[in-house]
Amino acid sequence: MSTTLRVGFVPGVEPDRFARRWKGVPRGGRLELVPVPLSRQRAALDDGEVDMCFVRLPVDESGLHVVALWEERASIVVGSENILSLHEELTEDLLADETEIRSTEPDDAAQRVAVVATGVGYTRMPLSVARTYHRRDAVVRPAPDREPTRIALVWPREHDDALRQTFMGVVRGRTPRSSR
pLDDT tens for each residue of 83-127: 999 999 999 999 999 999 999 999 999 999 999 999 999 999 999
Question: pLDDT under 70 in the chain at which residues?
Answer: 1-2, 174-180
Sheet strands side by side (includes 138-142): 122-126, 74-79, 138-142
Using DSSP's 3-state secondary structure scheme, residue 13 falls into: coil
Nearest of 42, 33, 84, 40 to residue 62 by alpha carbon:
42
d(CA 69, CA 98) in angstroms, rounded, equals 34
d(CA 148, CA 86) in angstroms, rounded, equals 23
pLDDT at site 105: 97
pLDDT at site 1: 37
Nearest of 3, 21, 7, 2 to residue 151 by alpha carbon:
7
